[in-house]
Amino acid sequence: MFLCIKNAELYTPTYMGKKDVLVCNDKVIYISERIQTQTLPGKVKVIEAKGLKLLPGLIDQHVHVIGGGGESGYTSRVPELRFSQIIEAGVTTVVGLLGTDSRTRTLRELLAKTKALNEEGITAYCLTGAYALPSPTLMSSVGDDIVFVSEIIGVKVAISDHRSMCPSNDELSKLAAEVRLAGLVSDKVGVVHMHKGVGKDGLKGIFEILERTDIPIKHFRPTHIRKADEEDAVKFSRLGGYVDYTSAEQAEEQAKTILEALQAGVSHNQLTISSDSNGSVPKWGKNHELIGITYARMTSLWKQVCALVELGMCLEEAICFVTCNVAQALEIYPQKGCIAEQSDADMILVDQKMNIRYVFAKGKIMMEEGKILKKGFFEDDH
């Protein structure tokens, strides 16, 4: 079956002007100023997109797909992410992971949810490990998980956080070396995805590892970068590493932090944004006592892009942080993260007010005219 999106303002994410985009099954197969659909064999669904912007589907590389949290007891366990919430957010590719809780949440549950999301129609990967060290695993080791489980592309670990296991540089070096070798064997990125808290060390230990060993910087992925980390973020990106900021409900405030980081010298091409969706967002007192808790929403990812645009960044630059930059960091570009011939047909259409109107994942229409068409198996109105 063919799908033709006509007269859209195309961002690949580079702005290309008004174009028609032809999709066959799950791939973009042709982009042109005008496509004659009547000459195509078989059935063609045509979507008139005049006045709409066509963008790559968003990629969210830090998602608690089975829920996170628990820092305020069992009742504070964040609920599982619903499929419709992913579509609502304009996200077409996710990376699922565990958080502080790897006891009542398990890697088996995480992997099962990841497989379900793939079956339901988006692209989903996941990470082994969690906050704890030694890393919890499905098989006998982190390396085995990466090599033998197709969905697993790396490991999660926590650093510089009062809830972490305070890993030593030697422990992190050995973990990164194992992940690198497993990635080479399985032809995966092999990422050490590091939750970075507000602890005293920041990225100090990672810089020491990079100085002392031959492990390439591409394997280290610090996330939750904050305003206070600006100096470290500049240094890390200049060395060729990717720094990941977390989108926030206070989107304008976080957008200012990101703009300041770019002005300070963080490379535009090395900056990514993720949502931390369905992860707990605890508020800590000065002695690390819990004084409040909520959880993150995936819709904050697109809100963050919109806030950057509202503060003066052009759209084609802002969307890179949630599309091509992430895809390149995960080594799935140009299959993901762009709109190009032979790329996956993961796209969104947004209106002039930046509202998401259509979502396409693997060539299937998941949202049409603002209405979600595809929901999870047990969601209401299935």
Report which DSSP code applies to 117.
Answer: H
Nearest to 181 by CA among 215, 213, 132: 215
Question: Which one is predicted more confidently, 289 or 86?
Answer: 86
Is 34 strand, coil or helix? coil
Domains of the chain: 2-55+339-372 (2.30.40.10), 57-329 (3.20.20.140)
Query: Tens of pLDDT along 19-76?
Result: 999 999 999 999 999 999 887 877 899 999 999 999 999 999 999 999 987 778 898 8
Of the listed ranges 63-67, 76-80, 283-287, 354-358, the one predicted with least confidence? 283-287
Q: Is the per-residue pLDDT at 382 higher than 60?
A: no
Q: Is the per-residue pLDDT at 344 higher than 50?
A: yes
For position 222, what pLDDT does the model report? 97
Q: Is the per-residue pLDDT at 378 higher than 70?
A: yes
Q: Which positions are annotated as active-site residues?
A: 276
State the chain's mean pLDDT as an integer.
Answer: 94
Band of residue 282 on the pLDDT scale cut at 50, 70, 90:
low
- Greatest alpha-carbon span in the chain: 69
Question: b/e per residue, 36-53, with b = 16+ CB within 10 A?
Answer: eeeeeeeebeebebeebb
Band of residue 162 on the pLDDT scale cut at 50, 70, 90:
confident
**290-295 contacts, C-beta under 8 A, 24 or more apart:** 290/71, 290/72, 293/69, 293/71, 293/72, 293/76, 295/68, 295/69, 295/78
